[in-house]
Structure 1
Amino acid sequence: MSAVDREVVLEALSTLLQTTVKPYSGLKEKSGELNIVNFLAIAFGKHIDYVLSQQDTVAGFISDVRHEMFVDMDEFFDPRFDFDFTNISDNSICMRGNEPYKRPCGWYRFALKVLDKYPDGNAWLGKDGWRSYSVAGEWPVSYHGTSIEGARGIIKSHYKAGPRELYGRGIYSTYDIEQASGYSREFTSKKNGKKYRVLMQNRINPVMRTVCDRKDYWLIEVPEGSSPTVEKEIVEKSIRPYGILLKEV
């Protein structure tokens, strides 16, 4: 990751979290640390007050989230799996988890360091590298925007269930990058003056998702009246971000 890339991706994280994100450089205390575990807990500023009200270890990490956070770039990102789709334009028919995979052409993916982070192993990611076919155990790819119009918040290390909308109560994502782009956040880089959109690229558990009447939307259903603990359990085993996507606009 070049120096310019590091600056821009920090701005992208700041946009997603709606707070200033700075590189972590040997702080004595880890208050305000951003890591893979708490990333989704604070990816929506509207729900920061809710997160801070919870008595758990996540709240301990983000006591000053309104002002700034610190990230260890080497522990948060995995540049071995970055991929530049910006100049790719193809109509290849690819499958992931036995569902269509529309590659994010026109975007750049910064990979998150998710290998060996889940107790069920890494099969959900499938095999690395270009391929047109699915492999056993992998989950389909979905995209999720985090604008206020497109989601209702992300809390406590998982996507927060939204109100009853469109087809049911829960978390919506889509395999169609163009649909997701409409719900992306935008920012203008102070480093290079360019304007970008930012999205999250995920894998979604095929057993847990429902295909909506509109086939390009998938729903992780969260029953109304579920406790925060149950919501957390449902979503943690249903959807897993593995990349941050940037596109110059």
Structure 2
Amino acid sequence: MFMNDVLKAEALSSLFGQTLTLSDKIHGNQGDTLSLEDIFYSIIVKIRQAQMKGFFVNAGELFDPQYDYDFTNLSDFSQCMRGNEPYERPKGWYRIALKVKGKYPDGDTWLGTDGWRSHSVSGEWPVSYHGTSLDGAHGIIKGHYKAGARAMYGRGIYSTPNIRVAEDEGYAKTFTSPSTGKCYKVILQNRINPQVRWICPISGHWLIPVNEGTSAEQERNIAEISIRPYGILIKEV
């Protein structure tokens, strides 16, 4: 799949819900340039403010192309494990890698080791997926990835280990690229902390509980220690 920084920024913008303009340097004050942490906190807990517009992003600070991977024509059906959970690689998708190494105070063990492997390694987190296009699905929660009240299994942050669930049930965000004129689906690829994850019976979803009355700062802390996006999956429709 053809991929450049412009298309990557468009995919990220579709998940964020607003246009993020590429910049090689800071324009104006530093508040105009969003960090990776701020972008994904906004996506995960659905923070939106009227004044949040006209932001710039620095491709060098957000994307990590050495870890990009093209799964679009993958024919290898080898079974994989990540975080002691089955990991079916996202065949048909292209992964835009995010620059997450060294971002968290507890190190990079949650990512596992680099390179191809079929087995899990000690301390790594399993993989989950999510998009942002639905307000709700099957009554599980309004606006998945949002700490909200309408939840079948409890209030919190939901994702799924099954990319087909993420795509087929309509969670994927769809956008038309101004630069290529083509239509794409976009889904976040995450790692989820098995120490705090609940497995929802039957539904194929995982839940990070967030209690009613949790403050915005506490929600951010819960998100940071519980679920970490490390890739954007994109597929041409």
State the TM-score, normalizing by the size of structure 2: 0.88
Q: Percent identity?
A: 53
- SS of 2:234's equivalent in the other structure is strand
Letter in 2 for 1:35: S
- SS of 1:200's equivalent in the other structure is strand
- SS of 2:204's equivalent in the other structure is coil
Superimposed CA distance per residue, residues 155-205 of structure 1 (whole angstroms, 9 cap, x where no aligned partner): xxxx53122322221111111001111201101112221110011110000
1:122-201 alignment runs, 5 A limit:
122-150=108-136, 152=142, 159-181=145-167, 182-201=170-189
Q: How much has 1:28 moved relative to structure 2?
A: 4.3
Superimposed CA distance per residue, residues 76-118 of structure 1 (whole angstroms, 9 cap, x where no aligned partner): 1111100000111443211000001111111111111110110
Mean Cα displacement is larger for which, 8-17 or 205-214?
Answer: 8-17
Aligned with 2:73 (options 87, 90, 93): 87
Aligned with 2:208 (options 216, 220, 223): 220
Paired position in structure 2 for 1:65:
52
Q: Are 1:237 and 2:225 an aligned pair?
A: yes
Distance 2:32 2:202 in 1: 40
State the TM-score, normalizing by the size of structure 1: 0.84
1:197-208 alignment runs, 5 A limit:
197-208=185-196
Paired position in structure 2 for 1:11:
10
Distance 2:10 2:206 in 1: 29
Q: List structure 1 segments (4+ residues) > 6 angstroms apart after TM superposition.
A: none
Q: Is the 8 A contact 2:142 2:151 kept in 1?
A: no
Mean Cα displacement is larger for which, 179-188 or 4-13?
Answer: 4-13
Distance 1:103 1:238 in 2: 21
Superimposed CA distance per residue, residues 128-181 of structure 1 (whole angstroms, 9 cap, x where no aligned partner): 122111000100000011113357569xxxx53122322221111111001111
How many residue pairs get aligned? The number is 230
Q: Are 1:21 and 2:20 an aligned pair?
A: yes
**C-alpha RMSD of matched pairs (Å):** 2.3
Paired position in structure 2 for 1:55:
none
Aligned with 2:83 (options 97, 116, 122): 97
- Aligned in 2, Cα 1:213/1:44: closer, same or farther, shift over 3 Å? closer
Stretches of structure 1 lacking an aligned partner (at least 5 in a row): 53-63
Mean Cα displacement is larger for which, 81-90 or 24-33?
Answer: 24-33
Distance 1:11 1:248 in 2: 13
Letter in 1 for 2:93: W
Q: Are 1:114 and 2:114 an aligned pair?
A: no
Paired position in structure 2 for 1:78:
64
